[in-house]
Amino acid sequence: MQLNQRRKFVKQLLVTSLTGLTFSNVATPSALGAPVSVEDESYWENLKKQFSVPNDYVMMNAANLCPSPALVQDKVQELTKALNKDVSFQYRALFSSIRKKSVTLLAQFMGADESEVGITRNTSESNCMIVHGLDLKPGDEVIIWDQNHPSNNDAWLSQAKRVGFIVKKISVPADPKSVQDLLQPFTTAITSNTKLIAFSHLSNVSGLALPAKEICQMAKARGIMTLVDGAQSFGSMSINLHDMECSFYTASTHKWLMGPFENGLLYIQKDYFNRIWPAVIGGGWKEATTVDQQLCVLGQRNDPSPAALPEILAFHETIGRKNIESRIVELNTYLKQQIKSKIPMATFVTPASPQFSGGIVIFNLPGKEIHEINDRLYHKYKIAAAPSGGIRLSPHIYNTRKDVDYVVKAIGELAG
């Protein structure tokens, strides 16, 4: 599909005006028509055309970086060209109002108040804002999951060396049978000195999904703060942060949201706003009452990037967040089934049950080196995967069942 055709499609797709956009959990009609089910392949094959990935490439690395649909690319390019024509303070002032709109829409999308949400550069930066901005003292305890991303794991260990608080690292069962199996290790680790529990909503190294709401509510009942790293859940799961009851939530827009590159999200529940000191103070900063103005004044930014957030949020709402979440689960379930059926020697790291997994499938091939398989998948078959915790595949809505079949066939050939 040529660029002008994509633009025409996008105009049809976004039947809701971006200027007056408000969100709900109900998907609006689209030019594609609402899918009969998540298994309606013609719908998803048509949707795939909105991405500029060449037909002979298969991107299955959503856990690291996603392509953006045409409307997002177009918006960023349009604003970048305009900015290059006029870098004056006067012209750049327009980005301030666009940013406020982006924050407002993000808050609606996340189930939060707009004063609680800020735009950073990535999940790692957002995590470190909490790690380095929270006042902890010697003797305080922070509980972390051993499968956390380094920015929500090593960052705590580094800060503990500096400040003197205690970090307790816990593990959970690799193949849980119940929510309680995953909740219990956190509950057991709590003492009277525990101040915060920090965990990834969904692990990037195993694909295991933790029961975030249950952990957060358990902690809140004990007066303990929670930091949820949502890098692998934001955009792939339908979330409501007020319902989750976490203290802090972090994410990126360039992963499962499929949004503009190099944007992160920082959520601080309003009761904890005054607990976080600014980690970075850029030009124009002053004390404020919102997360974005108080903590996210980071110096010169690539302003056209966050300005394209309304486009990708509208894209999600038009398709329907529940439809996207269900499609991701359907693709991953099908991927697991096909690997198990066609490559019986494969051993899974990710739990089989959708209840305890999400958009990530990680497995190993006995006798095969992970990095070698990953490189051969790309260079021989043009498949983007990742060597993270095993062979990691993370299909998204721009993938189809045909893509899954092709990937499984390629892995089978490499498995010998």
Facing residues of 86 across strands?
none
Strand order in the sheet with 391-393: 347-348, 361-364, 391-393, 386-387
Tokens read off for 305: 């990037």
Amino acid letter, residue 65: L
Domains parsed from the chain with CATH numbers: 120-279 (3.40.640.10)
What was the pLDDT predicted at 284?
87
Residue 10 reports pLDDT greater than 70: no
pTM: 0.91
Mean of the per-residue pLDDT values of the chain: 91
Confidence of residue 229 (pLDDT cuts 50, 70, 90): very high
What was the pLDDT predicted at 40?
84
| 110-161: pLDDT as tens digits | 999 999 999 999 999 999 999 999 999 999 999 999 999 999 999 999 999 9
Q: What is the DSSP string of 111-161?
A: TS-GGGEEEES-HHHHHHHHHHHB---TT-EEEEETTS-GGGTHHHHHHHH
Distance CA(58)–CA(331), nearest Å, equals 14
| 344-353: pLDDT as tens digits | 999 999 999 9
Q: Residue 20: count other Cβ atoms within 10 Å of its Cβ.
A: 6
Amino acid letter, residue 151: S
| Sequence-separated contacts (24+) of 284-289 with Cβ below 8 Å | 289/115
Q: What is the CA radius of gyration of the chain?
A: 21
Residue 23 reports pLDDT greater than 60: no
Rounded to 5°, angle at Cα 121 from 115 and 125: 85
Beta strands in 301-384 (DSSP E): 347-348, 361-364, 383-384
| Dihedral sign for Cα atoms in the order 38, 44, 48, 54 | positive
The mean pLDDT of 267-291, rounded to a whole number, is: 94
H or E stretch at 70: helix 70-85
Distance CA(99)–CA(228), nearest Å, equals 24
Largest CA distance in the chain: 63
Find tokens 């509980």 and name the residue: 143
> Is there a contact between 66 and 390 (Cβ–Cβ < 8 Å)?
no
